[in-house]
């Protein structure tokens, strides 16, 4: 469902680059708000707080209730950037990108374990020397 929402919104944003009736832009704003809110909620359920914040911020930018007047040129830039971002998010798996972080955390954990073992051996050695 997420990929369908992302692809649909990206297509709608790229169509916004053409001259369309004002009603089309209103529809895009409403569908963007709903779709991005769904993506934000899904990210929240998956404990992906950064994604949740990004989707929520973009949803607020596109919300249909209070018009954000950026001008046609600036809106075109926003449409292209958000559209490309949504398309990229279809192909980039964040879990694969976190492999480095996970490996680094494991290394840190292993280092801490080695330090604890080293301290334990030192204390045992010291006790046997004093005895």
Q: What is the pTM of this model?
A: 0.65
Q: Got the DSSP string for the chain?
A: -HHHHHHHHHHHHHHTTS---HHHHHHHHHHHHHHHHHHHHHHHHTT-HHHHHHHHHHHHHH-SSS-----HHHHHHHHHHHHHHHHHHHH--HHHHTHHHHHHHHHHHHHHHHHHHHHHHHHHHHHHHH-
102 and 65 in a common domain: no
Mean pLDDT by 10 residues, the chain (131 residues): 86 88 89 92 89 90 82 86 89 63 53 61 66 59
72 and 114 in a common domain: no
- Domain hosting residue 34, numbered range: 2-92
Q: What is the pLDDT of residue 37?
A: 92
108 and 56 in a common domain: no
42 and 9 in a common domain: yes
Q: What is the pLDDT of residue 108?
A: 54
108 and 86 in a common domain: no
Q: What is the pLDDT of residue 64?
A: 82
Q: What is the pLDDT of residue 69?
A: 79
61 and 10 in a common domain: yes
Cα separation, 94 vs 51, whole angstroms: 10
Domains in the chain, number: 2
44 and 27 in a common domain: yes
What is the CB-side half-sphere exposure of residue 42 using CA atoms within 13 A? 12
102 and 58 in a common domain: no
102 and 87 in a common domain: no
47 and 32 in a common domain: yes
52 and 7 in a common domain: yes
Both tokens assigned to 119: 């301290």
Q: What is the pLDDT of residue 104?
A: 52
130 and 112 in a common domain: yes
Cβ-in-10-Å burial (0-12, 13-18, 19+) of 49 comes to exposed
* Count of CB atoms situated within 10 Å of the CB of 78: 17
């Amino acid at each position: 469902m997420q990929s369908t929402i992302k692809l649909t919104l990206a297509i709608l944003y790229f169509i916004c680059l053409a001259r369309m009736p004002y009603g089309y832009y209103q529809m895009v704003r409403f569908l963007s708000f709903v779709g991005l809110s769904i993506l934000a909620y899904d990210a929240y359920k998956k404990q992906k707080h950064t994604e949740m914040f990004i989707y929520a911020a973009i949803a607020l930018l596109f919300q249909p209730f209070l018009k954000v007047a950026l001008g046609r040129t600036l809106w075109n830039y926003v449409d292209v950037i958000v559209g490309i971002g949504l398309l990229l998010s279809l192909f980039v798996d964040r879990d694969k990108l976190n492999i480095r972080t996970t490996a680094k955390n494991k290394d840190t954990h292993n280092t801490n374990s080695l330090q604890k073992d080293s301290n334990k051996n030192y204390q045992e050695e010291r006790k046997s020397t004093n005895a």
